[in-house]
Amino acid sequence: MYADYKLFINSLHHFEKVREQQKQQQTSRSSCQLHRYNHEPVSSNFLRRDVPPILILAFFLFLIIIILSQILVVHTSRYGINFSTMQKNQEELKEMDASMETILHNNVLPINKWRLLFYIQTRLYRFQYLFDLFNNQNNLTNENFNQSNEIFKQENNNSHSVSNIKHAQNRFEEFIGENNDYSFQWKRKKFRYNYIDNHKRKNYCNEYPSQLKGRIFDENSTFPNVSLYEIEMNFTDIKSGGQWSPSYCLARHKVAIIIPYRDRFEHLVTLLYYLHPILQRQELDYKIYVSEQIGNGTYNKGVLMNAAFIYASNEYDFQCFVFHDVDLIPEDDRNMYSCPILPRHMSAAVNEMNYKLSYEELIGGVLNIRTEHFLTVNGYSNLYWGWGAEDDDLYYRLKDVSLKVLRPPSSIARYKMLQHTKRTPSVWNKRAKLLYSAAKRYTWDGVSSARYNITSAIAYPLFTHIIVDVGLPPPGFS
């Protein structure tokens, strides 16, 4: 009996142990499954404990700094602006101010007195030129007379024609022998009578020439490859120096064409090829001047045009001046180069600009202006060293004295620009500083204060070539 009870108790203990073991196994399996397949997000306390917020903020700040630095690097490399260049520009602008003050104090004569001296000087130069020309013709006539006298003495006098010539020669010698100074008087009377007779026989040319052809080019036109010698052979009636006037009528306008030039010989030949016949069909009394700067220094277009203006004015009484870029070829001969009442911007439509005017102040390219108007605004500024803005400066001068700029219709004022390498313009800060003071500066900066030296002036068959030394730019203008 006792043994059965003990066996029963042992079996109960064994059953409880087995049951406890089964429960432990089930709890271990459930914990493993929960650990393996739990997809709940990790608590934020874990992040706060492992990655501090200040590190995250520092990381984003670092990214922002990197992006901004890259933008600054790209901006600097693209526009070439950095602190050193900006500081250098500021120093050069200060030097410009000092140089302009020096030029202002060095220019002693006021503009009104300079204009009076200019008129006197030009008339003296013209009188001297005509006097020298008259003396040369008189000496040439006397030399020819003496040479013909020696030739007639050597020839046979039996011929009837020779005897008639000798008889006329003897009569002329008797006429001259009556007065010792009669040769000069006879020459002067003959010149005066011929001048009066020529002007009596000639009438003024038509106000609207009848030989104009209209449009010369179209969109598909090309420029011929001609040499300067071929052009000279085609225009044998042009006088030395590029001067021409109609022989069948009196020209209504005396025009000087001034071409500022540098290293563009092929363009110059092409321009002369088209410009001479256009000016002749317009029946103008004209002369072409090519003003070239000597050397390879900084280019100054304003000084070149001022120097050519003074040189041409000393030679002839031109009524107006046309300042013509060498790379612009006129497309229509109805675009008149005659002297206008007000300044005329002739190149209002250029093919490089889609035959449209870029801005209202643009008067560069081809400008036709009367002599008195050019002197009123004191010509071009001499302070634009480098390429660009001297034409805009002249516009503000004309505007300040209430001279309106006229433009022909865009259908007529058309020009083709010859292909060439674009030159780098001068620094915009310098040009802007000069443009803002253009209206105040023209009384002392211009043709009256131009400093240059003409090293040579050669009269070629198609143009007069003027070599100009403009010197070195003042401090701050290089």
Q: Enumerate domains of the chain plus CATH numbers.
A: 228-469 (3.90.550.10)
Between CA 190 and CA 185 the distance in angstroms is: 8
The residue to which tokens 């204060």 are assigned: 449
Q: Work out the burial of residue 316: count CB atoms within 10 Å of its CB; fewer than 13 is exposed, 13-18 middle, 19 or more buried.
A: middle
User: What's the confidence (pLDDT) of residue 376?
Assistant: 93
β partners of residue 328 = 417
Closest residue by Cα to residue 234 from 204, 270, 273: 273
User: What's the confidence (pLDDT) of residue 183?
Assistant: 46
Closest residue by Cα to residue 280 from 259, 305, 249: 249
Residue pLDDT, tens place only, 134-147: 776 666 555 554 55
Closest residue by Cα to residue 216 from 123, 353, 329: 329
User: What's the confidence (pLDDT) of residue 421?
Assistant: 66
User: What's the confidence (pLDDT) of residue 408?
Assistant: 94
User: What's the confidence (pLDDT) of residue 344?
Assistant: 97
Residue pair 343/408 in contact by the 8 Å Cβ criterion: no
The angle formed by the CA atoms of residues 200, 206 and 209, to the nearest 5 degrees, is 140
Residue pair 223/269 in contact by the 8 Å Cβ criterion: no
The list of the chain residues with pLDDT below 70 reads 1-8, 12, 15, 25-51, 74-108, 133, 136-201, 420-429, 476-478
Residue 62 CB neighbours (<10 A): 10
User: What's the confidence (pLDDT) of residue 140?
Assistant: 57
Between CA 382 and CA 470 the distance in angstroms is: 10
User: What's the confidence (pLDDT) of residue 176?
Assistant: 46
CA atoms within 13 A on the CB side of 361: 14
Between CA 30 and CA 183 the distance in angstroms is: 145
